[in-house]
A and B are shown apart, each in its own frame.
Chain A
Amino acid sequence: MAIAGLDIGSVATKCVVVDDGRIIGAALVRTGTDTEKAATRALADALQQARLERAVLEKIVSTGYGRRQCGLADRVITEISAAGAGAFRMNGRRPGLVVDIGGQDTKVIEINGEGSVSDFLMNDKCAAGTGRFLELMAQVLETDMEGFSQLARSAEAPRRLNATCSVFAESEVVSLIAHGESKTNIAAGLFEAVASRVAAMLRQFQEQPVFFCGGGARSPALRLALERLAGRPVQVLDPPQFVVAFGAAMLPDGV
């Protein structure tokens, strides 16, 4: 029987349909202001991809920031447990640390040998150092996320930035551009600023393999910056954005 995992994030709503431990359908839509609508659409898209009827689904598990605003779900769990379970399933059942950089928050989750969460850390309520921050900075540099990442990869000397608060960082970036600093160095600096915050969170835990997921994991520049600053290899789980939704779908029958 198929199970749908719905991850209603602050920026995007992800849905996967899982049958027998395999993803048979996945969809991603912008969350916007109406979570219910976004969830319904994501579910419909994923079902269409899986070529399944809604009635066939055994259950729908919702997670993410809007998990309780969604009337579709049969079960609700937090994105932290879901991310842990999803990452454990996707990385070949290895314990380690899961870095999840989402739109609104950044988490580091420690999973043990049984695949359950043994500890986690989250950033503060401010959006500094999250995916949203990177999106905003891409806008300031007049590019999209992909271009932003490419800019950073061709940097010669990443420019260190002092601010990670979106508002202050924006004015810092603007003034750096005015002073003639190259966009590539600024872009690399911005990735390093985010990565250094994550690396600091990682250092709160013992040395373990690091797995990377969430929207932020799509950016190779961020992964490289994180590897350099954390001083250890970082494995991106594929597909990074669906790890949480996948975990939500997998959790009901245990990890």
Chain B
Amino acid sequence: MKKHQDQGGLKPEYASILDGFYRGLAPSGLSPDYRAETEVYRRRSRLASAGRLYESLMSASGVAAGPRVGYFCNLVPEELIRACGAVPVRLCELDHACARLGEEVLPGDACPMIKSICGSAAAGRYRDLDLLVIPAACDGKAKLSELLAPVRPVYLLDLPRSSEYLRNADAWTGRYQDFFDFLKERFRSRAGRSELTAECRRANLRTQLFRRLYHFRAGHPGLINHFDYFTLVSLSFRLEPEAWLDLAGEILAEAVGRAEGLKFDGRRILLAGSPIIFPAYKVLDILYEFNCEAVADSLCSGYGHLYDPVEIDEETETGIIRALALKYLAASLCPCFMGLNKLLDLLVDTTAEYRLDGVIYHDLRLCQVFDMQTVAIRQVLKEKRIPFLSIKTDLGREDTGQLKTRIEAFLEMLG
């Protein structure tokens, strides 16, 4: 079997030492229970069809059978995994209990998402997966590819870290091609053009519906509230596109049917910054309390994940892989890849297009990158007369009071 250079890993000796340590951390495993939270958000929803949405969070329906490939970030093309007959499961998570366990492996001030992932891995939640795919999106993820190696086989998807199309399109295509070759070999698949085209089409159907939903929310705030929205997006991490379409289609159809004459007297803002994934809805809870809706976002776990289509220009195998590379690397919004130009353009443009009241920059201390650009964003948006609030927080709930003061004052400032 061809040894792939960018396959992450540890020597068996070191791996088994580390594995023993992980098994000692949470011998009885860790299975967070979110029934209470689910119930709260289900009750907050104004839609009857949201019941099924929150049920799906807890159930395993809508997930295809087959070898399961866990991956992180929106830089890993799920179409390639699906084309090879495997089931992609995006493992990005923000779970406080898992993050606390993760702190026994990682430093306390590390990114909460990486801590959460590491905690989940140590607690054995990934052991039923066949493969882990970790893109070298940030330093934390790159190191994670080694720390998770004892748990499951890891493929490190190493990508040049810049979203500059001209310079990197060929390199990205090459890396994706390698990844595809690896998957085909691993899952003994003979996937080619037709499988890839079919998967891209499935993904694009999802994009089409997502766009309609996104646009609808901006025009009819509060009907599909931001909990429903982010839950729906989080569900796309593991649901088959058809199952997701079914769920989202039902919600959108109900919402469209009830949109007539509906009034919303709150504030509509754009939420930028760190990802928001169920159950880490702390900021959304506060916004909801003050009748403020996050109707647009620039998050890698939201808009960035579903908004852009795969645009196949050349229907050759290489052409499709290149189209995927452009979608996932150039078009999407991974904060480590995305240039400040692009982020600022997006904030300015979306705020103007939907006539939003302001921008809230949610900084989960995920990594320094988020923090580093805060001042630049603040200064530019101030010049553009777009109200801007930056909030720094983490997964814990102890700073809710302070966050409320900031957010409430921001909303008071909007008048």
Give chain A nearest CB distance to B366 CB in angstroms: 15
Tally of chain A residues near chain B (CB < 8 A): 16
Interface residue from A116, A120, A124 paired with B392 (Cβ < 8 Å): A124
Q: Is B413 a contact partner of A116 (Cβ separation < 8 A)? A: yes
Known: A78-B405, A125-B399. A204 touches B412 (CB 8 A): no
Q: Is B368 an interface residue (CB 8 A)?
A: no
A118 CA to B410 CA, complexed, in Å: 9
Please determine whether B405 and A65 come into contact, CB atoms closer than 8 angstroms. Answer: yes
- Minimum CB–CB distance from B24 to chain A (whole Å) comes to 31
Residues on A with C-beta less than 8 A from B410 are: 120
| Complex contact B375–A120 (CB within 8 A) | no
Say how far A127's CB is from chain B's closest CB, in angstroms: 11
Partner of A78 from B382, B392, B408 at Cβ < 8 Å? B408
Supposing A65-B401, A65-B405, A204-B378 touch, asked if A125 and B413 sit within 8 A by C-beta, the answer is no
Assess the A81–B402 pair: CB atoms within 8 A.
no
Which residue of B is nearest A80, CB measured? Answer: B409
Of A65, A79, A118, A119, most buried by chain B (CB within 10 Å of CB) is A119
Q: Please tell me if the beta carbons of B412 and A78 are within 8 angstroms of each other in the complex.
A: yes
A125 CA to B396 CA, complexed, in Å? 12
Q: Is the CB of B392 within 8 A of A81?
A: no
A83, closest chain B residue (CB): B409
In this assembly, does A7 line the interface, its C-beta being within 8 Å of a C-beta of chain B?
no
Q: Is B257 an interface residue (CB 8 A)?
A: no
A122 CB to closest chain B CB, in angstroms? 6
B261 contacts the other chain (CB 8 A):
no
- What is the CA–CA distance of A81 and B378 in the complex, to the nearest angstrom? 20
Q: In the bound complex, how far is the Cα of B408 from the Cα of A117, in angstroms?
A: 12
Chain B window 374-401, contacts with chain A (Cβ cutoff 8 Å), 1 for yes, 0 for no: 0100110010000110001100000101
Whose C-beta in chain B lies nearest to the C-beta of A125? B399
The reply to whether B378 and A117 contact each other, CB–CB distance below 8 Å, is no
Q: Are A119 and B392 in contact (CB under 8 A)?
A: no
Interface residues of B in 94-134 (CB under 8 A from A): none
Interface magnitude class on chain B:
10 to 19
**Which A residues are in CB contact (< 8 Å) with B378?**
204
B406 interface residue (CB < 8 Å to A)? yes
A116–B413 CA distance with the chains assembled, in angstroms: 7
| Assembly CA distance A117 to B387 (angstroms) | 11
CB-defined contacts of A81 to chain B, threshold 8 Å: 409, 412-413
Instruction: Let me know if B415 and A116 touch, CB within 8 A.
Output: yes
| Cβ distance B344 to chain A, nearest Cβ, rounded Å | 17
Q: What distance in Å separates the Cβ of A133 from its nearest Cβ neighbour in chain B?
A: 16
Contacts A65-B401, A124-B392 given; indicate if A117 touches B375 (C-beta within 8 A): no
Docked complex Cα distance between A165 and B378 (Å): 25
- In the complex, what residues of B have CB within 8 A of residue A79's CB? 405, 409
Chain B proximity mask over A60-84: 1 for CB below 8 Å, otherwise 0: 0000010000000000011111000
Contact B413 A80 (CB under 8 A): yes
Residues of A within 8 A of B401 (CB): 65
Is A105 in contact with chain B by the CB < 8 A criterion?
Answer: yes
- Assembled-state Cα–Cα distance A163/B375 (Å): 22
Looking at B387, B388, B402, B413, which has the most chain A CB atoms within 10 Å of its CB? B413
Which A residues contact B (CB, under 8 angstroms)? 65, 77-81, 105, 116-120, 122, 124-125, 204
New A-B contacts (6) at CB < 8 Å, excluding given A105-B402, A125-B393: A65-B405, A78-B408, A80-B409, A80-B412, A81-B412, A204-B375
- List the 6 closest A-B pairs by CB distance, nearest first: A80-B409, A78-B409, A81-B412, A117-B413, A125-B399, A78-B408
Query: What are 13 of the A-B contact pairs (CB < 8 Å)?
Result: A78-B405, A78-B412, A79-B409, A81-B409, A117-B409, A117-B412, A118-B413, A119-B387, A120-B413, A125-B393, A125-B402, A204-B375, A204-B379
